[in-house]
Copies of this chain bind each other. A is one copy, B any other.
Amino acid sequence: MQKNFDAFDKVSANFVPLSPVSFLNHAETLHSQRTAVIYGNIKRSWAETAKRIRGFAKGLASMGIKKGDTVSVLCPNIPEMLELHFALPVSGAVLNTLNTRLEPETIAYILDHADTQLLIVDQELIPVVEKVFEIMGRSVPLIEISDPNAPSTHTLGGKNYDDVIETDIDVKPMSGFPRDEWDAICLNYTSGTSGRPKGVVYHHRGAYLMALGTIAAWQTPHYPIYLSVVPMFHCNGWGHPWVMAMLGGTVVFTRTMAADVLLDAIGKYAVTHFGAAPIILQMLTDAKSDDMKPFDPKVKVLTAGAPPPPSVLEKTKSMGLEVMQVYGLTETYGHISQCLWQESWEDLDDAKQAQLQAQQGIAMPMVDMVTVIDRDKDQPVPFDSQTQGEIAIRGNTVMKGYYKDIRATEDAFANGYFWSGDGAVVDPDGYIQIKDRLKDVIISGGENISSVEVEAVLFRHPSIQAAAIVAKPDPKWGEVPCAFVELRDGAEANEDDIISFCREHLAGFKTPKKIVFAELPKTSTGKIQKFKLRELAKSLD
């Protein structure tokens, strides 16, 4: 009798909005005396951390911040950054983390586009903010974080972070939950691979499921000791700050990502888990001293951003790091597939193992489909390791859409999937392997670089007639941008000129590392044949 089964209302006993706020509740009631953060001389329990979070959220309210307001944050991984991942959702505001390596022009664009009501900034980065305000021609209300461990501090006279924290708080059960789990929680800008950065809107439901699914995929026990390496401005640190609250974990911060500092911290605090881009793993293997013993018990590591080179996987294994590659995009809250280890790989040699581990793997538990689709035929490719298609994703950890960009949202969600833009094949065992970045993204040190964006800068140089940017393999960064340019008739410019010009307008990591002067190969219809340039770039030194 359908009607009898449908007769029930949702009530507060049986329907609670899915939200990372629930993990804060767990942390402060179930794990209150556990250490939440360790950073230099700072060590705080979850009770203390939760009190700061609740107090900061109340302080935001006193400042007039209300539900649906965007609050932008420019800050490295330090305890305040973790706190903001709870304080802003609790306050109802939307957390917009900014890549600290972005050029002021792009930050200015984002603050405008995101309708930022308040900017929270680490005082080391005040000089960047000064330039941003100059470009914007206006300032934004500011809260400044004074970090005793920052190498330098500056001020623009903003309110101090600690002064915002109110101490007279009365926390009721379930306080801070969104009215609707579909409410926005974060706004994360893409690196703008096909032009301007796009604002990816996350919802509470997705952030909650991302955390619970990560625990299932990574088999994370309670009370992990987690080293904070993945920048929290990248997909909110792949959702890991929320996971740590739920499990009563301890988050170890170093501010700097220098290899020796990270290795010291792993040993000193008996770190059990961390996530990091392959470039960081390579740094760790390079920095490892010969007499260093492998970590025991092994440290569990997730890596993403680019497939880890086999050499790195072999070396990290010998160091006692148990690395699993995961794959995802800003639009999917970070990782949504995992290269799950198979017992049948045990007996293979290290090189073959490393090759298998460099696959993108299979859907994580909380994702409903990660599939590879032949868009011409509108059907999944066969599992033959050969036929290429585009990775398409369906699940609750896919963004609401792009902020103020309904057209791009509709394009991204065509035919019932989110389209990744990544070309891939599927192996007979169902494991997905990326073959090509359909959008010509360059991935350098874990950061996505849009060739279109760099080309746009080159095109502004008075001597340049035509230009194309492709990835050049690089032993340190994985890939670096390499420019092929045609000069105008009679114009003159050398490699240094052009690199300097780019550096004025682009973040360092986006600036081409190599300029090649040559006629660009084109199709009969005049389209540049980038695949030829990619081949050429591989042969350059």
Residues of A in contact with B (beta carbons under 8 Å apart): 1-8, 10-16, 18, 22, 25-26, 29-30, 32-33, 67-70, 94, 115, 173-174, 182-184, 187, 201, 206, 209, 212-213, 215-216, 219-223, 246-247, 340, 343, 362-363, 365-366, 368-369, 371, 393-396, 398-401, 403-404, 406, 409, 412-413, 416-418, 429-430
- 13 extra A-B contacts, CB within 8 A, seeds A209-B212, A215-B365: A5-B94, A5-B183, A5-B187, A12-B394, A12-B416, A14-B399, A26-B365, A29-B430, A30-B363, A173-B369, A174-B369, A215-B215, A216-B247
What are the residues of chain B within 8 A of A365 when measuring CB–CB?
26, 212, 215, 246-247
What are the residues of chain B within 8 A of A406 when measuring CB–CB?
7
Shortest Cβ gap from A231 to chain B (Å): 24
Count the copies. Answer: 2
Interface pairs (10), CB distance under 8 Å: A1-B68, A2-B69, A13-B418, A14-B400, A14-B418, A16-B394, A30-B363, A173-B371, A216-B216, A247-B365
Could you tell me the distance between the alpha carbons of A417 and B10 in the complex, rounded to whole angstroms?
12
CB distance B16 to A395 under 8 Å? yes
Shortest Cβ gap from A197 to chain B (Å): 16
Shortest Cβ gap from A478 to chain B (Å): 28
A68 and chain B: residue at smallest CB distance: B2
Known contacts A26-B363, A246-B365; decide if A8 and B430 are in contact (CB<8 Å). no
Could you tell me the distance between the alpha carbons of A400 and B11 in the complex, rounded to whole angstroms?
9
What are the residues of chain B within 8 A of A398 when measuring CB–CB?
13-14
CB distance A201 to B5 under 8 Å? yes
Shortest Cβ gap from A357 to chain B (Å): 15
Could you tell me the distance between the alpha carbons of A188 and B12 in the complex, rounded to whole angstroms?
22
CB distance B8 to A201 under 8 Å? yes
CB distance A5 to B368 under 8 Å? no
Shortest Cβ gap from A17 to chain B (Å): 9
CB distance A16 to B174 under 8 Å? no
Most buried by B among A183, A212, A343, A365: A365
Could you tell me the distance between the alpha carbons of A393 and B69 in the complex, rounded to whole angstroms?
33
The 9 closest A-B pairs by CB, nearest first: A2-B68, A5-B184, A14-B398, A8-B400, A12-B416, A8-B401, A215-B216, A13-B413, A13-B418
Could you tell me the distance between the alpha carbons of A406 and B8 in the complex, rounded to whole angstroms?
8
What are the residues of chain B within 8 A of A11 when measuring CB–CB?
413, 416
CB distance A174 to B115 under 8 Å? no
Shortest Cβ gap from A69 to chain B (Å): 8
Shortest Cβ gap from A143 to chain B (Å): 20
Could you tell me the distance between the alpha carbons of A404 and B1 in the complex, rounded to whole angstroms?
10
Most buried by B among A33, A173, A183: A173
What are the residues of chain B within 8 A of A394 when measuring CB–CB?
12-13, 16, 173-174
What are the residues of chain B within 8 A of A6 when measuring CB–CB?
68, 184
CB distance B201 to A212 under 8 Å? no
Which listed residue, B1, B174, B222, touches A70 by the CB 8 Å rule? B1
Known contacts A396-B15, A418-B13; decide if A430 and B30 are in contact (CB<8 Å). yes
A392 and chain B: residue at smallest CB distance: B13
Could you tell me the distance between the alpha carbons of A417 and B15 in the complex, rounded to whole angstroms?
10
What are the residues of chain B within 8 A of A404 when measuring CB–CB?
4
CB distance A25 to B215 under 8 Å? no
A23 and chain B: residue at smallest CB distance: B365
What are the residues of chain B within 8 A of A184 when measuring CB–CB?
5-6
Could you tell me the distance between the alpha carbons of A343 and B224 in the complex, rounded to whole angstroms?
13
CB distance A403 to B174 under 8 Å? no
